[in-house]
Chains A and B, each alone.
Chain A
Amino acid sequence: MFEDLLQGMPVLTLMILFPLIGAILVFTVGRSMTVIRWLSLIFSGIPIILSILVLLAFQWGEALPAGENFADPQFYESYQWIPSLGVSYTVGIDGISLPLLLITPLLTFLSILFSWDVTTRPREYFGLMLIMQVGITGVFVLLDYFVFYIFWEIVLIPMYFLIGIWGGPNKDYAAIKFFIYTHVASLVMLLAIMAIYFQAGANTFSMIELGHIAPGFATTFQIIAFGAFLFGFGVKMPMVPFHTWLPDAHVEAPTAGSVLLAGLLLKMGGYGLIRVAIPTLPEGASAFSPLMAVIGIVSILYAAIVCLAQRDLKKMVAYSSVSHMGFVMVGFATLGPVGMIAGVFQMFAHGLVTAVLFMSCGVVQHHCGTRIIQSLGGISQKMPKLATLMTAGFLASLGLPGLVSFPAEFMIFYSIFQSWGLWILVPIASVAITAGYYLWALQRSMFGPLTTRIDTTEIHDANWYEAVPMAILVALISLFGIFPSIMMSRIGDAVSIILSGLGVG
């Protein structure tokens, strides 16, 4: 019924343009706090409406009219940009981009709302948030390697500033570490892109066209190029042993920065793997599949164990991101339909859940002045609203059935069993560890007798602009936990196309 809703409307370009216009307006006419806040809220919010329209108009399953092909990206636009290199501005989405495209404006919008009380250099702060939204949206919709890479890099600069200007005490170190790690990773990815571009010799950077040519390349070439992609995307996700930039960046970043970093930037790595690396270089993917599984499982377990030892609530959440992104990697490594659908869904789920977790840490830091678990305790007596939302977030993250992470993680375990049988016993240990560190942290920081290590007289509950975003996210977490098929069915189509290219499905 909604198929014709967005007929002829460049909706994806508009989703990139609105935050860009918003950023320019904030930088130029943002004279007062009120103007800055509302401008950024409106211009990051309009893409949410557009993204919901996209979800409604998105065609999938049996609803597709005869003669049309699911392999074609929807809401497709293409314009020439640098003809002599074969670069064009091409956007379009399929079921893999759709869930990530949905959470991008949502998380940016909620982060901006959550940052309602930021008063240091507000113009730069909100402007940079909007520019980040531009970059991330671009990454998830672009179908041209060259422009994809440009947007990929654009994301880094606002995040560098967000950590470097509004960060914690050790922000200089964390900001530059983040920048260098992810930049090196992007450059290695760029090498792989160049290699594919020249190997194809078709004078085009189009992901679709190269996606048709590249699977025919020699196996050696595919393995080398896939290795470069795996490094580039793996650092971004991040996978052990290249994960060390993430805890540093999170501990120092302001809350909104952390939300975007964990909720969206990490997804770029996973998205790159399934959008670019696996379908373009299928032979490389099957050669690397065991290594990917090992890396993923090590990340899941190692990060979970490290979480147990954390004193800082936020650092714990940061390491839990590494653990949860490990599930994505393992899911992709199975190269089977269940694992890949679940991997994409896990990215979507983790985006929603981790935002709640980081917002909780932000509220605790803000109101109690510390995030050290040992110093907290019994805070729920002072902050019932926060305690409710935070518990919901923690439970969602440890994979409670009925909440969004459960179907994703369950399906990934199922696919591990399908592919590697009893090896499932190794990663499944993480379920216990994850439940352990979350519940233990919750018990020590939120419940029990009220702490005497910090002054608790002034502590009051979460402000409206902090509670509302978390409540919205918790509502979505339950919605998609109960009806995961809303997303899964749409993801499924795209995954089956990739698998048919791999010669599996």
Chain B
Amino acid sequence: MTTTIEYFSVMLPQIILLLFALVCPALDLWLKMRRGIAYWAMIGLGIVGILETLALVPETRGLVTFLFWASPPATQVFEIGAFSELFTIVFVFVGGLVAYASPPYIKDEKHHGEYYALLLIAVTGMSFVATAADLIVIFVGLEIAGISSYALTGFQKTVKRSTEAAMKYFIVGGFSSAITLFAFSMIYGAGGSTNLRQLGSSIIAGGPFDPIVLLGIALVIVGLGFKIAAVPFHMWAPDVYEGAPTTISALLAAGSKKMGVAALFKLFLVALIAVKVEWDVAIGIIAILTMTVGNVIALQQTSVKRMLAYSSIAQAGYILIAIPVAAVPGIADYAVAGGILHVITHAAMKSGAFLVLVALAVVGLGEDLRDFNGLSKRSPVLAFAMAIFVLSLAGIPPLAGFYSKFVLFSAAVFGAAGEYSWLIWLAVAGILNSALSLFYYAKIIKYMYVNPAEQPGKLKIPASVMLVVLIAMIATILIGVYPEPFLEAALGAAGALLGG
């Protein structure tokens, strides 16, 4: 029997985040020091980040166990391990970057306390999904993160498009949550349990509940497809990413979307793995559609923020490659590791790219391609960082994005044999799309480095925003130059997810 205390100790990271979140509004009321709230939020995120990192690294794992619980308790609803730890680190990392970049960006707004509280709660929800071993927990996590993101999207109440985006996000999000819940009820009905691992052994092909399972699978694809903005469920994403405060766009693209990916991994590769013939081709097709549509529409964008939104859609398509490939026996670990690695690298490069937009917004520039004119002259560091992010997104070696794409595509090549030979088309589509995407990424570089500046003078970027951009840039380069530990961690997380 698991005692109450042990239950709490399992949820320790989430509890820490929640406690820090609850204090934020009070700080706003009493301290009158806005930057202080950001620091407070970052302390909370930092503690969780350190805790999870210590738990992830084998050499220090014992320390955490010793400090917080005598033996890692086994529960029905949570599954602590490399997978949950790695994803939580990603969420906390993105949350930290966003929190630190926020004060200059939202300085004209009210309700700073609520902003950081919602931010922390959103991260809490995401980490719940990463930790979940149960359908209900996944759903609760999705909702915690979702509802706080709706509010954050509409944070700039005086800006029309922010409110519009929040409304759109809320309606689509609520709708997709309902579908997801309906799907979960089907799966529960067919499998007789809400625990993912038990479902994995109880849902088998050819059973009497096959039609229900099939309906459940279809609805999961639709519901979570909305969450990760997979084509054809992506319509909301560009509007929301464009309308939301740019800091929140970073959180949505690098955080919320990855939560959806974690949920998809858990559902398909743990709970529904036995009926893979029912879904692998469908997800493969969605993956190809998602990356192609995202890239093709991104080509025509003149707003960089919207371009990045479409690029996020395309990147989700690359991650989706991992799921059908993981259905092939023998390379599941490698394929899922590719997906997880792409989650990590995408978190660094995409949040970095959005934070460059934050930096421009802080000094009064817009988010149009024209605003990047001559950026290399006006702020060489910012332009260089942006160049690194977009080149990494395009998958140019030796930057972070190259490795995750390499592992993903090569897994598809590897898996393509016998009855799975169609998987090669996933790699081909991914590679053609990488080439296609280079066109619009190079456009950004051209505006920054080739075009002359429209206005003279250096930009005075606040140090805090510059710092987070630099951190994201260093992460992007570091993963590129020394990918071994990240690849190891991703392989470990994949093993934890699949092996259980």
Contacts and interface: CB of A to CB of B under 8 A. Distances in A.
Interface of A: 81-85, 124, 149-150, 153-154, 156-157, 160-161, 164-165, 171-172, 175-176, 179-180, 183-184, 187-188, 190-191, 194-195, 197-198
Contact of A161 (B396, B431, B449): B449
Interface SS of chain B: helix
A38 B409 CA distance: 44
Given A82-B483, A180-B439, A197-B410, A157 B446 contact: no
Contacts of B439: 176, 180
24 contacts: A81-B484, A82-B483, A82-B487, A83-B484, A154-B398, A156-B396, A160-B442, A164-B446, A164-B450, A165-B449, A165-B450, A171-B450, A176-B443, A176-B446, A180-B439, A183-B438, A191-B409, A191-B427, A191-B428, A191-B431, A194-B410, A194-B427, A195-B413, A198-B414
A150 B483 CA distance: 13
B290 to A, nearest CB: 19
Interface of B: 391, 396-398, 402, 406-407, 409-410, 413-414, 427-428, 431-432, 434-435, 438-439, 442-443, 446, 449-450, 483-484, 487-488, 491
A179 to B, nearest CB: 6
Contacts of A81: 484
B397 A150 contact: yes
A198 B484 CA distance: 19
Contacts of A84: 484, 487-488, 491
Contacts of B431: 187-188, 190-191
A82 B446 CA distance: 33
A82 B482 CA distance: 8
B484 A82 contact: yes
A172 B446 contact: yes
Contact of B409 (A83, A171, A194): A194
A347 to B, nearest CB: 25
Contacts of B414: 194, 198
Contacts of B397: 149-150, 153-154
Contact of B442 (A82, A179, A195): A179
A172 B450 contact: yes
A124 B407 CA distance: 33
Contacts of A180: 435, 438-439
Given A183-B435, A184-B432, 10 more contacts: A154-B397, A160-B442, A165-B450, A171-B450, A175-B446, A176-B442, A183-B438, A187-B431, A194-B427, A197-B410
A236 to B, nearest CB: 14
Contacts of B407: 85
Nearest to B430: A187
Contacts of B402: 150
Contacts of A188: 431
Contacts of B446: 164, 172, 175-176
A153 B449 CA distance: 19
A363 to B, nearest CB: 26
Contacts of B391: 157
B182 to A, nearest CB: 40
Contacts of B487: 82, 84-85
B435 A187 contact: yes
Contacts of A83: 484
